């Protein structure tokens, strides 16, 4: 039996496709980027798989380099629409990713349109499945955002699992943001309380308060520059200090 390895994609849509030793898989590679692209009827029929592997000469195909995995990646998938299947993936093509801090979608193959939304703005997530989608094991995940916008992850596998991943990521981000705000508010209240203690006779209490606030502003700026705080969070905390 032919060994499992990366070989030239017999469909011609990608540089390499993975052969598992007995059949072609959906795993493909272009440059250093790996993704999935389901085989369509006529791409590589099971009866011709061995011949196709022989035709591209396995010994001349170098394994694709393993790209570094994004530690923030929670899920990724592609649209498995009937329209895409009928056109070889050129119509209705879309790729989706869910990370700890956002939802990303790339639509189109010949001309790609990339967009993303921060996970903090997710307000609701719904799964919609037609009878046809259920029979194919796919569904559409609709994500609503707090600013009134929305996006649809169309025809993805295991749509209910995708919904749960997005909801969990949004809840986790809000929990961390709430705890960060709580700690910062506690530190702010403590510093102001200390700096506003009873001054010595004839002493001016104002400078100590100003120094404390200036120091806190510097610390907030450092947290923002380090990526711990977003620009919006930095602005909110700054406004609280200056009130």
Measured in degrees and rounded to the nearest 5, phi and psi for residue 4 equal: -75, 135
In angstroms, the CA 22 to CA 15 distance is 20
Spatial separation of the C-alpha atoms in residues 169 and 179, rounded to whole Å: 15
pLDDT in tens, the chain (243 residues): 467 888 888 888 888 888 888 888 888 888 767 888 888 766 654 444 444 444 444 444 455 555 556 788 999 999 988 765 555 554 557 899 999 999 999 886 555 678 899 999 999 999 999 999 999 999 999 999 998 999 999 999 999 999 999 999 999 998 888 888 778 777 766 665 555 554 544 555 444 444 467 777 877 787 777 666 778 888 888 887 777
Residue 152: its H or E element? strand 150-157
CB 18 within 8 A of CB 28: yes
Nearest partner of 216 among 232, 182, 239, 196, judged by Cα:
239
Beta-carbon contacts of residue 66 (< 8 Å; ≥ 6 apart): 34
Strands 16-19 and 24-30: antiparallel
Can you say whether the dihedral through the CA atoms of 187, 191, 192, 197 is positive or negative? positive
CB-based contacts of 67, cutoff 8 Å, min separation 6: 32, 33, 34
Starting at the earlier edge strand, list the strands of the sheet with 33-36: 5-8, 16-19, 24-30, 33-36
Is the distance from CB of 32 to CB of 15 less than 8 angstroms? no
DSSP 8-state assignment for residue 47: G
Sort 32 into a burial class: Cβ within 10 Å, 0-12 / 13-18 / 19+.
exposed
């Amino acid at each position: 039996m032919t060994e499992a390895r990366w070989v030239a994609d017999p469909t011609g849509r990608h540089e390499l496709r993975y052969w598992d030793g007995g059949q072609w898989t959906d795993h493909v590679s272009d440059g250093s980027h790996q993704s999935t692209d389901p085989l369509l009827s006529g791409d590589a029929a099971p009866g011709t798989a061995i011949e196709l592997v022989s035709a591209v000469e396995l010994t001349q195909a170098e394994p694709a380099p393993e790209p570094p995995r994004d530690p923030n990646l929670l899920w990724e998938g592609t649209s498995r629409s009937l329209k895409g299947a009928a056109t070889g993936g050129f119509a209705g093509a879309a790729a989706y990713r869910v990370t700890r801090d956002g939802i990303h979608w790339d639509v189109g193959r010949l001309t790609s349109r990339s967009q993303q939304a921060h996970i903090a703005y997710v307000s609701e997530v719904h799964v919609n499945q037609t009878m046809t989608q259920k029979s194919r094991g796919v569904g559409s995940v609709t994500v609503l955002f707090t600013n009134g916008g929305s996006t649809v992850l169309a025809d993805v596998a295991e749509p209910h699992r995708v919904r749960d991943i997005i909801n969990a990521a949004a809840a986790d981000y809000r929990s961390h943001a709430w705890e960060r705000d709580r700690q910062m508010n506690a530190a702010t209240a403590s510093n102001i309380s200390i700096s506003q203690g009873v001054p010595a006779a004839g002493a001016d209490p104002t400078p100590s308060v100003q120094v404390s606030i200036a120091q806190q502003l510097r610390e907030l700026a450092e947290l923002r520059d380090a990526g711990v705080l977003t620009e919006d969070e930095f602005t909110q905390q700054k406004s609280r200090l200056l009130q």
